[in-house]
Amino acid sequence: MDKKEIKKLLKEKLSDEDIEKLEEILLEENMQKKEKIEILKRLIKENKYNIDPEKVAEKILRFFETDQEN
């Protein structure tokens, strides 16, 4: 489903006011994501973002173990 189809469906099912509220919520969430990304970029640049290699390795192993089960 593309954006036009989604907008058409929303207009059929929701009031203009509800659509506005939904757009505001999505915009706010997008801004929060951008803010988090900027914080992470700054921490990485300042060498203050530490990654635990053991946790990364555990997650990779879990991913491949789960993948092999399917």
Per-residue pLDDT of the chain (70 residues; tens, 9 = 90+): 888 998 899 889 999 999 999 999 999 999 999 999 999 999 999 999 988 999 999 999 999 998 777 6
Helix 16-45 vs helix 3-13: crossing angle, to nearest 10: 140
- Its sign, for the CA torsion 37, 41, 47, 51, is positive
Query: By the 8 A CB rule, do 30 and 22 touch?
Result: no
What pLDDT is attached to residue 70?
62
Tell me the pTM: 0.57
Distance between CA atoms of residues 22 and 9, nearest Å: 14
Per-domain boundaries in the chain: 3-69
Q: Where are the alpha helices (DSSP H) in the chain?
A: 3-13, 16-45, 53-69
